[in-house]
Amino acid sequence: MDSNHLNRRGFVASVAAMGASLAVFGAASASAVKPRFTVEGDQFMLDGKPFQILAGEMHYPRIPREYWRDRLRKLKALGLNTLTTYVFWNVHETAPGVYDFSGNLDIAAYVRMAHEEGLWVNLRPGPYVCAEWDGGGLPAWLFPEETGIARTSDPKFIEPMKRWFKRLGQELTPLLIDSGGPIILTQVENEYGAFGADHAYMAEVMQAERDAGFSGLLYTADPSQFIANGSIPGVVAGINFGTNYKAEEEFAARAKVRPDGPFFNSELWGGWFDAFGDLHATMEIPPLIASLKWMLDHKMSISFYMLHGGTSFAWYAGANWDNKGYAADISSYDYDAILDEAGRPTPKYEAVSALLKNYLPASAFSPLPEPEIPAIIPRFRLKQAAPLDQLLLKSTLQKTPKSLDALGQMHGLMLYRYQAKVAAKGELKFGDVRDYALVRINGKTVATLDRRLKETSVSVDLPKGAVLDVLVDTHGHCNYGKNIGRDQKGLIGGVTLNGTPLEGWAQYGLPMDSPTGLTFSAQAPDGPAFYRGTFSVEKPGFTFLDMRGWGKGYVFVNGHNLGRHWSVGPQRAMFVPGPWLKAGENEVVVLDLHESAERTLAGGANEIWDLPGLVKA
């Protein structure tokens, strides 16, 4: 008996155990209100009439709030009728029980705005979302130590998830379609079949959504080869695939497990994401149009992933783990999408629009909003500097190094300091370095260690009394694969010199929440430092800051964290949203871990990429 058969047998058993409660999983909960969005046969039905979902995915934290309406109108102008969005748990609950739905995180306002623009909403609340987002949206505070509880029925995971869904429900259940809002679908988990086959866990996630008030139609989404693991009888089963797959073959694979409809391509990957050190990923237009045409001919529902990717600002870009090891995602989430990082229609937009016009009435389309004029900024020098040490937090003393996560710091940098008690030289070895480290002795950098290259040791010569500093910069927690919840940051495990343990470390955190509190001068310090400069614009508009010549670090404009820059590419410029600029003088602060680098910037109209490479996703 093969494992797939065992998985399916376990699935049936777990479903049966849920009893009568499963009767409401795929439909509205018992209510006097007749549900407006339902399934009849193989069709979605809206108010009793067949409805084809034509959606585009866009994520509210990746788009400045001032741009939301513009992007929604561009979705609508393409002829689409639905906005798809994930909900990112870790941006809303940054500490247990501490919630934030303000400003750019006001997801209810985002959903209401979509409704105002005549759009329906497909909600993807997770709790896990992948999305090339830090930890797949799971808060790092869930995992202070390496653990296997992520996406399991362990109470240490399930109970926080239930509390989160309850709080999210307060924001969004009033916006369900049967309450007069635009939310027509709610997803259960996300691509779970690619992670596991614990159907009891899936039932718990589903029940938690119901208990939080998410009535109405539910669905799952998985690549077709994992649909047996991740789908649920009686619940709509979407499938995800890229434009270089053939849609006909993907739905044929689905039919072997789920021959029933509705037939929903819940993610049509029109592009792909980028990792540091790779070439910029692109995908050709013809395969996208071929897949799209076949599905339109068969009246299937579709959601473009991504319609517009935007930017993973600050530290929220994620990371993947595969047979090559750890790969950190860049801050740009351009995704080679239908709208580019700055929200401009690309040739893909024009190709998709031309095809959709063969299937939809003219009334389905609307004019595009007026384009934003980019701000072109002449090259200028950052003339002031401040040492990184100024923002270090108070130290904690540890016998052996602790991860950032263990000390309650979810992102940023950590300085580990050791003073040599005796002279020694030889191999300095770490259990693991997550994710990039400068090794410094008495204030001088002697080596760098890069997790991508599996570097965990260096030869050193430590005089007695020497100060050994290991400054660790972090990237995203793994958002895909078995390392979810196991990717704590900083120095992992013990430290030895020639096999002898080094004990007694002072640790200084630097969360990088803000560059405020720095005292700048004209004297450039040795070692990692912040650099400050100003530039002026007559009229605010988006721009891309040219980072060529800089080393590695973060960029702030007028206090906004644009994300990570790193000379390994493929991203060579940082997107600055127009609403984050002001007429007149603007401030930019760049943290650079590397010395002797370029200290000038300029702003242009376009991203600067390393040579693109086609991917077969």
> In sequence order, what DSSP letters do the residues of 62-87 get, joined into one string?
GS-GGGHHHHHHHHHHTT--EEEEE-
Q: What is the pLDDT of residue 243?
A: 84
The angle at the Cα of 527, spanning 570 to 466, to the nearest 5 degrees, equals 130
- What's the rounded Cα separation, in Å, for the pair 57 and 11? 30
Q: What does pLDDT average to in each consecutive run of 10 residues of the chain (617 residues)?
A: 33 36 39 86 97 99 98 98 99 98 98 98 98 98 96 98 98 98 98 97 98 98 98 97 94 97 97 97 96 98 98 98 92 98 98 98 97 98 97 97 98 98 97 98 97 98 98 98 95 97 98 94 94 98 98 98 98 98 98 90 98 62
CA separation, residue 549 to residues 370, 413, 572 (Å): 34, 22, 9
Q: Which residues contact 226 (CB under 8 A, 6 or more apart)?
A: 191, 193, 194
The answer to whether residues 125 and 87 touch, using CB atoms and an 8 Å cutoff, is yes
- What's the rounded Cα separation, in Å, for the pair 131 and 124? 11
Helix (H) or strand (E) holding 458: strand 457-462
In this structure, the strands spanning 301-305 and 264-269 are parallel
Q: How is residue 67 annotated by DSSP?
A: G
Residue 485 Rama label (left phi>0; alpha psi -120 to 50; beta): left
Length of the chain: 617
AA letter at 51: F
Say which of 57, 93, 267, 607 is annotated catalytic: 267
Handedness of CA 494, 497, 500, 502 (dihedral sign): negative
Say which of 191, 204, 250, 607 is annotated catalytic: 191
- What's the rounded Cα separation, in Å, for the pair 121 and 63? 17
Q: Which two tokens stand for residue 441?
A: 């002795």
**Cis peptide, bond prior to residue 274, ω within 30 of zero:** no
Per DSSP (E only), the strands in 272-398 are: 281-282, 301-305, 319-322, 325-328, 377-381, 384-387, 396-398
The answer to whether residues 581 and 558 touch, using CB atoms and an 8 Å cutoff, is yes
Q: What is the number of helices (H) and of strands (E) in the chain?
A: 10, 36
- Whether 595 is catalytic is no
**Cis peptide, bond prior to residue 612, ω within 30 of zero:** no
Q: What is the pLDDT of residue 19?
A: 33
Q: What is the pLDDT of residue 167?
A: 98
- Whether 427 is catalytic is no
**Cis peptide, bond prior to residue 202, ω within 30 of zero:** no
The answer to whether residues 300 and 252 touch, using CB atoms and an 8 Å cutoff, is no
Q: Going edge to edge, which strands form the sheet with 529-537?
A: 384-387, 529-537, 584-592, 552-557, 560-566
- What's the rounded Cα separation, in Å, for the pair 556 and 545? 11
Q: What is the pLDDT of residue 524?
A: 87
**Cis peptide, bond prior to residue 570, ω within 30 of zero:** yes
The angle at the Cα of 311, spanning 307 to 312, to the nearest 5 degrees, equals 120
Q: Which residues are registered as beta bridge partners of 613? A: 281
- What's the rounded Cα separation, in Å, for the pair 433 and 457? 9
- What's the rounded Cα separation, in Å, for the pair 544 and 567? 16
- What's the rounded Cα separation, in Å, for the pair 19 and 38? 22
Nearest one of 348, 329, 328 to 338, comparing CA atoms? 348
